[in-house]
Structure 1
């Protein structure tokens, strides 16, 4: 592999506590029991509104998704201040760069928040491109991966996608790239393994498949 496309939330950025905390806040008015990180992983899927329907045990009503999504982000942006990069994030990015590989970042988080956050951690220097979501959120990553790879001008057969969700796997397959899935994020390891793709417990380990 010549190029790695990294995911942000739950992969390079270890924000599971903020995600679970924000989710519990928006569902507090429903009187539901608070989720643990493991409980959240049991229901997490994309599109996100499907996960919310799993939590509620029913389809979302008209307008409910928009309210929940806005509320989630309000709480998340407050709670994420206490989160940090994954333990081996910096070392892994530096190692791949040192090996002569190129890398970029594609996230389903808001672009105007993603770019300054990556820069604030001082890791933007490692990426040839950083893309976040520029429109409504909650959907699948596949079409965004198409645009990202096209903008990079790389052969997708030379691309390895590293992320923490089944959606990352589908996005990679959609463009003809390979994928490695990381167990330290939002998705239960059992669900990641069900894809048949390699599943790793550290970012450093993911480089073994590059």
Structure 2
């Protein structure tokens, strides 16, 4: 492997506390929760509206998803200001670069928010390319991964994707790359292990595997 495609939220950026906190805020009026990270992972799934229905124990009403999603993001963007890079993220970026290899960042978070945050944290120079979501609805990550790999001119056989979700593994498989999944995000270890790719508890362990 000569290139890593990193995921952002829940992988390089340790934002699980902001995700759980924002979720608790939007469900407080319903009398649901509060969740801790493990409790949240137990009900989390994609698409996220299905997880919301699990939390409520019923189907969402017309317009309810849009209100919940908007509320979540309002709270998330406030709470994420206190979040930092994941443990081992900076050292992993540096050691991979020092080994003469390349890396990039592909996130399903909004591109207009992602780029300033990456710059603010001082890590933009480590990436050959940074791509966030440029459309209103992201859908599966696979199509975005294909465009990302194409833009970089990479051979997928030389690429490993490191992320925290089942969607990251599916995106890697879609383009013919390998995947390593990290337990620092929203998905439980049990759900990650069902995918059939390596699962690690630290980013340093991910690099050791490569």
TM-score bracket, normalised by the shorter chain, equals over 0.9
Question: Secondary structure at 2:132's aligned position in 1?
Answer: strand
The Cα of 1:49 is off from its aligned counterpart by 1.7
Q: TM-score, normalised by structure 2?
A: 0.96
Aligned to 2:205: 205
- Which stretch has the larger CA shift, 129-138 or 179-188? 129-138
Aligned to 1:69: 69
The Cα of 1:58 is off from its aligned counterpart by 2.4
Give the Cα separation in 2 of the matches to 1:194 and 1:101. 30
Give the Cα separation in 1 of the matches to 2:5 and 2:64. 33
Q: Show CA shifts across 1:184-208 (max 9, x none).
A: 1111111111111101111011112
Alignment of 1:60-99 (within 5 A): 60-99=60-99
Please report the RMSD computed on the Cα atoms of aligned residues, expressed in angstroms.
1.2
Question: Secondary structure at 1:81's aligned position in 2?
Answer: helix
The Cα of 1:68 is off from its aligned counterpart by 1.1
Question: Secondary structure at 2:179's aligned position in 1?
Answer: strand
Q: Show CA shifts across 1:46-98 (max 9, x none).
A: 22222222222223222222211111110001001111001111000000001
Aligned to 1:113: 113
- Consecutive unaligned residues of structure 1, counting only runs of 5 or more, are none
The Cα of 1:209 is off from its aligned counterpart by 3.0
Aligned to 2:54: 54
Given that 1:169 and 1:180 are in contact with CA atoms closer than 8 Å, whether structure 2 keeps it comes out as yes
Give the Cα separation in 2 of the matches to 1:95 and 1:137. 35
Cα separation, partners in 2 of 1:143 and 1:58, compared to 1, 3 Å: farther
Q: Runs of 4 or more off by more than 6 Å in structure 1?
A: none
Aligned to 1:20: 20
Aligned length, in residue pairs: 210
Given that 1:46 and 1:138 are in contact with CA atoms closer than 8 Å, whether structure 2 keeps it comes out as no
Q: Show CA shifts across 1:98-127 (max 9, x none).
A: 111110001111110000000000000000
Question: Secondary structure at 1:154's aligned position in 2?
Answer: coil
Aligned to 1:163: 163
The Cα of 1:138 is off from its aligned counterpart by 6.0
Q: TM-score, normalised by structure 1?
A: 0.96
Question: Secondary structure at 2:161's aligned position in 1?
Answer: strand
Aligned to 2:195: 195
- Which stretch has the larger CA shift, 46-55 or 146-155? 46-55
Give the Cα separation in 2 of the matches to 1:162 and 1:33. 30
